[in-house]
Amino acid sequence: MERVSMEVHADLQRERAAATISSEHFAEWWAGGRERLEERRALERYFFDDPEFNDPKHISFMSYKELYEHSVAKGTRFLAKLREWQRLRAPVDGTGGLTGGLDIKTLHDFRLLISGPLGTALFQQSFPLRLHFAMFLPTLLNQGDEEQKKQWLERAWHMDGIIGTYAQTELGHGTFIRGLETRADYDAEHEEFVLNTPSLTAYKWWPGNMGQTANMVVVLAQLYIKGKHYGLQPFLVRIRNEQTHEPEPGIDVGDIGAKLGANAVNNGFLGFRNVRIPRDQMLMKNAKVLPDGTFVKGPEPLLLYGTMVFVRVLIVHDVMVGLLQAATIATRYAAVRRQSPIEPNAPEPQILDHLTQQAKIFPQIARGVCYRLAADFLWQFYQRIMQQLEAGNRKGLPELHALSCCLKSVCTQESNEGIDALRKACGGQGYLASANFDNIYGLATAAYTYEGEYTVLLLQTARFLVRQYEDSLKRKVLPDSINYMRDTTRLRWTKNLLANAVRALEIVAASKVRVAWEQIRLERKRGQSAQQAANLAGIQLSTAAAAHARAFLARNSLRELKKLQRNLKPELGGVLQQLVEIFVYDTFLRQLGDILKWNHIAVVQVTQLEQRYEQLLRDFRPNAVALVDGFDFHDRVLGSTLGCYDGRIYERLMEEARKNPLNEEPVNSSFRMHLQPLMRGKL
């Protein structure tokens, strides 16, 4: 979406003039301060002002192959221009690095940039070299020994003959990684590993960039030495020739095909047939294989767990951004679109004035803001635990792991739902590719599965919760995020509706954990094994974990709000208060079944909360446009005919339609070939 210079639509002008908050103040807070806001804007201008980064054709008109080629071309230009940016800003750095020297923080920053607004604006179907930075380099860094890092890291960082990816998942094996089949047999005589794909289901399947782009792969394979199994280990394998890019002998590699989204990722398949690599290409920071075939067990790879948590923290952030992009588009559209008079003979109102429309959009804005508060908390929690881990203290890891798992699941699922609901709130126009909901949804819904499938992660959290519940019976001290379970008092409904709602959600979570625990005990008494009992309690366990996440999200929003209100301008604090209330009540009302099951609440009290909720929607209405402006999404980031800052929805819809390649010829060739014969009865 280019910025076409058009006057801002009168309806949006009026909305902005009437707002009681300053979008710029909000944007400053949202970006984490003035400096960061300016920095981000400068980087966006640097790219968006460059016509080389303006797609000549909307990607929805491209074929799968065209999109790949287009994305690789843009991706390499992007890296070059980003290096230039670094040189301009840090001329004395001299490392030639993308953002300075290489450490895990640099890679994290790059990952944030790529999955952030700039990245998704330029690469709506994902960045085609992402896995090199997001997985290949971090794995070398975390799992290579010093010698290996010296040999590979600098080259890989500069992409000197190396484009890498990371291959774990197989065609027949996902979540349960012990089931992976790819094997690496050590040949002590030649000091080599021999990699093989013993069956169709053992083909590596899904790794990004692997189809046509990468030439090296870190492969997770079952290690065998003299026929004895030593578990999964990472191996560095060249799959394409550095000079010709032809697949190396024994390598069967290709792209797995089109998907709902992320079609520039070049997800690949990979099979091995007696592929040999030297011994020093098993990454040996942890376990080692000595030349004679002696296996040396390493320490537990604690930092690896940390990386898994880190990725989940990022995902909560990513899906929140997607949700708020969708909410921004839907809000601006609803402020310009007019339909269905409320009063007969009155002009058609902005659809944002229909209460049912407010109920579709505002809770999603509120949700996104509260997810942001949770992502910030989780990020600080993560950093605290990482410091402890580095000092050898792993005590906090299970709590962090449990919280990140259930938040990843719940935030992803609800963002998916939210984005789709916001699309639908734009009626038919939301169904158009030019509205860009398809790309936003495509990326957000992939996160439902990757890095831990929804239910699998909830069950991981649930195992932790059940253990904690047992501990709570023994009156041990509980971790902070679980502490509410010790409070067994019933809900006392007070005038503080927010506190009532949060406490009610906590009681639901605690009750559900207890019920799951009881069911497991019961099944055990009936003679079931612990595992079968857990399977039979699967529904209770997974919903308990989701309830735990919701209680956390509500409580955390309230707590963070209180902190923020000390520092924010009062009018911003007031609007944030509205949003936190909307989020908490919306969560309460969506969980009403469980809440009424586990709490004694009268109909009149529920009604009171419902009325407050509707009042809040009306109260928030005047600031809706100004608030979404404050997320400061550039038009190119939203990439939507419906969501531009100037509100020129109809001009842009028509403009995009006219760019459609089908409209380049007045008469399509189908007429002579097919339609005319049909109309002459000649078929």
User: Where is the binding site for FAD, in residues?
Assistant: 169, 208
Residues in contact with a second copy, shown as a per-residue x/- string from 636 to 665 under the rule CB under 8 A: --------------xx-xx-xxx-xxxx--
Question: Cβ closer to a second copy: 211 or 630?
Answer: 211
Residues of each annotated binding site: 169, 208
Pick from 314, 262, 302: nearest CA to 107: 314
Q: Please state, in angstroms and rounded to a whole number, the distance separating the CA atoms of residues 319 and 367.
A: 11
159 binds a second copy (CB under 8 A): yes
Smallest separation, CB 167 to a second copy (Å): 14
Render 97-124 in DSSP notation, one character per residue.
Answer: -SSSS-SHHHHHHHHHHHHSHHHHHH-T
CA 236 to chain centre: 27
In sign, the C-alpha dihedral spanning 582, 401, 410, 511 is negative
Minimum distance from CB of 508 to a second copy (Å)? 11
Q: Segment contacting a second copy (CB under 8 A): 222-230, 421-429, 483-491, 548-556?
A: 421-429
Nearest distance in Å: CB 423, a second copy: 8
CB atoms within 10 A of CB 437: 27
Q: Binding mask 218-237 vs a second copy (x if CB under 8 A, - otherwise)? A: --------------------
451: which 2 tokens? 């890095």
Q: Judged by CB, which is closer to a second copy: 32, or 257?
A: 257
Q: Give the three-class secondary structure for 164.
A: strand
Of 257 and 298, which has the nearer Cβ to a second copy?
A: 257
Residues within window 592-611 making contact with a second copy, judged by CB under 8 A: 592-598, 603, 606
Q: Residue from 5, 489, 567, 670 that binds a second copy (CB under 8 A)?
A: 670
Contact flag: residue 532 with a second copy (CB under 8 A): yes
CB of 188 to a second copy, least distance (A): 30
Contacts of a second copy in 269-288 (CB under 8 A): 269
DSSP letter at 208 equals T
Comparison of 22 and 528: residue with beta carbon closer to a second copy: 528
How far apart CA 141 and CA 107 sit, in angstroms, is 10
For helices 397-425 and 355-390, angle between their N-to-C axes, nearest 10 degrees: 160
Token pair, residue 485, equals 């379970």
Report d(CA 115, CA 19) in Å as an integer: 31
Q: Which of 20, 294, 339, 483 binds a second copy (CB under 8 A)?
A: 339
User: Token match 């920071």: residue?
Assistant: 285
Beta carbon nearer to a second copy, 101 or 291? 101
Contacting residue, 94, 101, 179, 249, with a second copy by CB under 8 A? 179
- What DSSP string runs through 336-361? H-B-S-SSTTSPPPBGGGSHHHHHHH
Q: How far is the CB of 614 from a second copy (least distance, A)?
A: 7
CA angle 116, 117, 122 (to 5 degrees): 105
Q: How many residues does the chain have?
A: 683
611 near 589, Cβ under 8 Å? no
In this structure, are strands 216-225 and 228-238 parallel, antiparallel, or unpaired?
Answer: antiparallel
217: number of CA atoms within 13 Å, CB side? 33
Smallest separation (angstroms) from a second copy to the CB of 294: 27
Angle, nearest 10°, between helix axes 355-390 and 538-567? 90
* Sign of the four-CA dihedral 36, 38, 41, 43: negative
Interface with a second copy in residues 309-338 (CB under 8 A): 337-338
Vertex 336, ends 586 and 637: CA angle to 5°? Answer: 75
Considering only 91, 344, 392, 527, the residue that binds a second copy (CB under 8 A) is 344
Q: Nearest approach, Cβ of 613 to a second copy (angstroms)? A: 9
Q: Which of residues 547-576 bind a second copy (CB under 8 A)?
A: none
Does position 85 interact with a second copy (CB under 8 A)? The reply is no
According to DSSP, the β-strands at 288-289 and 204-205 are unpaired
- Sort 21 into a burial class: Cβ within 10 Å, 0-12 / 13-18 / 19+: buried
95 binds a second copy (CB under 8 A): no
Does 290 interact with a second copy (rule: CB under 8 A)? no
Q: Which two tokens stand for residue 125?
A: 């179907």
Indicate whether 203 belongs to the interface with a second copy (CB under 8 A): yes
* Residue span binding a second copy (CB under 8 A) among the ranges 16-24, 190-198, 257-265, 297-305: 257-265
Q: Which stretch binds a second copy (CB under 8 A): 34-42, 319-327, 385-393, 674-682?
A: 674-682
Find the shortest distance in angstroms from Cβ 11 to a second copy: 12
**677 touches a second copy (CB under 8 A):** yes
Contact window for a second copy (CB under 8 A) among 28-36, 252-260, 382-390, 468-476:
252-260
Q: Which of 245, 490, 526, 563 binds a second copy (CB under 8 A)?
A: 245
The footprint of a second copy on residues 388-417 (CB under 8 A) is: 416
Active-site annotation holder among 248, 451, 453, 610: 451
212 binds a second copy (CB under 8 A): yes
Is 69 known to be catalytic?
Answer: no
| Pairing, β 228-238 against β 251-255 | unpaired
Q: Does 615 sit near a second copy (CB under 8 A)?
A: no
Contacts with 376 (C-beta within 8 Å, 6 or more apart), sequence order? 560
| Count of residues that bind a second copy according to CB under 8 A | 140
Phi-psi group of 23: left, alpha or beta (phi > 0 → left; psi -120 to 50 → alpha; rest → beta): alpha
The whole-angstrom separation of Cα 19 and Cα 575 is 11
* Paired strand residues for 647: none
Q: Which of residues 459-478 bind a second copy (CB under 8 A)?
A: 459
Residue 242 in contact with a second copy, rule: CB under 8 A: yes
Q: Which is nearer to a second copy, 123 or 269 (CB)?
A: 269
Rounded least distance, CB 153 to a second copy, Å: 16
For residue 131, which amino acid is it?
L
- Compare residues 43 and 596 and give the one whose CB is closer to a second copy: 596
Measured from the CB atom, the residue of 51 and 428 that comes closer to a second copy is 428
Task: Please tell me the number of Cα atoms within 13 Å of 288 on its side-chain side.
Answer: 14
CB 652 within 8 A of CB 1: yes
Helix (H) or strand (E) holding 233: strand 228-238
Our CB check for a second copy shows the closer of 118 and 253 to be 253
- Using CB under 8 A, which of 13, 95, 449, 577 touches a second copy? 449
Q: Which is nearer to a second copy, 377 or 583 (CB)?
A: 583
What span, in angstroms and rounded, lies between the C-alpha atoms of 438 and 399?
35
Q: Does 48 bind a second copy (CB under 8 A)?
A: no
Only one of the segments 107-115, 155-163, 189-197, 489-497 lies at the binding site for a second copy (rule: CB under 8 A); that segment is: 155-163
Residue 343 binds to a second copy (criterion: CB under 8 A):
yes
Select the span of 20-28, 108-116, 206-214, 300-308 touching a second copy (CB under 8 A).
206-214
Residues that are catalytic:
451
